[in-house]
Chains A and B, each alone.
Chain A
Amino acid sequence: MNDAQPLLQVSGAGHAYGDRSASRWGCRDVDLDLWPGEVLAVVGESGSGKTTLLGTLSQRLSLTEGSVRYQLADGTMADLSELSEAAVRRLWRTEWGFVHQNPADGLRMHVSAGGNVGEPLMATGWRHYGRIRAAAAEWLQRVEIPVDRIDDAPVTFSGGMRQRLQIARNLVISPRLVFMDEPTSGLDVSVQARLLDLIRSLVAELGLAMIIVTHDLGVARLISHRTLVMKDGRVIESGLTDRVLDDPQAAYTQLLVSSILQG
């Protein structure tokens, strides 16, 4: 890994929904650099294009225009649109994670907790049952799930536990880059605080880079270094998180900040 260049380099990125004749831009003209170990929050109201941006950067949605370049493990920058499908699948198995808002979208709900955490390891070539189970147990502990629940399926878990399990399933492979889409928003406030604190400490400990989409400025403040504010599919303000939140420049960001603090 080369820390002197960004892990992800995005320029002029956009995604349009629909066919060419009747297309609507979900997001457009997005420029950003994400550096190793850096946490970037993307904030905005629903419909602002933040989830579309996340989908576009993570290759779940097509890139209609612009470019997304990624620093491969050997330090070279690759244009993601030029990588083969197999190469992209390999990145998902070994270097990337995606934490969905709804844990059911990222977990296998009827497979045991241990199986959910062990499966990504098996996909990267782990074969020894005892070692996989031991690693899964260790990760359950790290995300504060009692190890005696290792054989229970997440369908029997609470919402907070499911989300922590999804995080374990994503982090067990020691990814370099993790995408998170509103990971705390479906949870009770008390559960949210615990989960955020857990995410914060794991990210710092593992030194991974993360892009997190959230409508909650409190989430951005607690875990991100930099924040990008989106409106109508465009980035309208970006910078150091505390600068954006404490001294917002754009009218829309001022509205967002004042609404949240009053609410």
Chain B
Amino acid sequence: MIPAVTDACETQPILAVSGVEKTFTMHLQGGQRLPVLHELAFEVHAGECVALGGASGAGKSSVLKMAYGNYAVNRGSIAVRGPGGVVDIAAAGPRQVLAARRHTVGYVSQFLHCVPRVAALQIVAEPLLERGVPAAEARDRAAELLTRLAIPERLWALPPATFSGGEQQRVNVARGFVTELPLLLLDEPTASLDVRNREVVTGLIHDKRARGTAILGIFHDAEVREAVADRVVQVEAFAAATGADVAHAAAGRTGAAGTTGAAA
């Protein structure tokens, strides 16, 4: 599963964003257009951790969501380099995006989307099982991560729906870190964690980098950001003319706002 990082591809970025534009069109508000990002461009290389900077509402989460294929992209390209070559997520069809998520791009969302009735250990092991790792090995690796993230063993067999916010987030981090994919997107992975667990997550990020994973993340906590990030891409530098805050707030609230353009 671990991608071979050869000298030849170290010069090539794992993630190359260029000329990306994102505008939400809110049809329920009379088709109001809310431009968020304009000519966004940056790269992330293997073994590098890049933080997205900027005030709340600048569009940081939107960048991660576009890179994961979760938000549509109005213009530009988001090229990710995986074992099967380079895929432009901005232009890829659903099956290509699913394949990229399977082999290339991992994403740790801010909150755990609980699946009813599934035990914590199973939730963490699932991404490995889906990729064909034998059940016993998948469970061992999941258990190892849960231990490292200080989730008591008596909770492993329980569904996380009843866990505390911090425990749920740690299960979520474990699920996101259990696979070895070339690119990892992190949306506030330490937001509701105490100091000790923040340090554990910081350590996990360092380990990933050491193994050649390219990481793009939003780290609100300045200490964590300084500890893990090589550099910061200021999203505000690519702000579209107007309305970025409104657009982001609206998108965050309704889970969506929509954009103009293609898709459909």
Contact = CB atoms under 8 A, between A and B. Distances in A.
Contacts of B118: 197
B113 to A, nearest CB: 9
Interface string B222-264: 0000000000000000000000000000010011111111111
Interface string A24-58: 00000000000100000000000000000000000
Interface centre among A204, A238, A240 (most CB of B within 10 A): A240
B259 A249 contact: yes
A197 B123 CA distance: 13
B255 A249 contact: no
16 contacts: A193-B116, A193-B117, A225-B94, A226-B94, A237-B264, A240-B97, A243-B263, A245-B255, A246-B256, A247-B70, A247-B71, A248-B256, A254-B28, A254-B254, A255-B27, A258-B254
B256 A35 contact: no
Contacts of B72: 243, 247, 249
Contacts of A245: 255-256
B115 interface: yes
B27 A251 contact: yes
A86 interface: no
A242 interface: yes
Nearest to B115: A197
Contacts of A237: 263-264
A236 interface: yes
A191 to B, nearest CB: 11
A253 B264 CA distance: 10
A196 B114 CA distance: 13
Interface in A9-35: 35
B255 A261 contact: yes
Interface of B: 26-28, 31, 65, 69-72, 94-95, 97-98, 115-118, 130, 251, 254-264
Contacts of B259: 247, 249
A90 interface: no
A257 B255 CA distance: 8
Nearest to B95: A35
Contacts of B261: 249
Contacts of A253: 258
Given A239-B263, A254-B254, 18 more contacts: A35-B95, A197-B116, A225-B94, A225-B98, A237-B264, A239-B264, A243-B72, A247-B65, A247-B70, A247-B259, A248-B256, A248-B258, A249-B262, A250-B27, A251-B31, A253-B258, A254-B27, A254-B257
A142 interface: no
A110 interface: no
A238 B26 CA distance: 18
Contacts of A197: 115-118
A193 B259 CA distance: 32
Given A246-B70, A246-B71, A194 B117 contact: yes
A226 B94 CA distance: 7
B115 A222 contact: yes
Contacts of B117: 193-194, 197
Interface in A190-205: 193-194, 196-197, 200, 204
Contact of A243 (B26, B28, B70, B115): B70
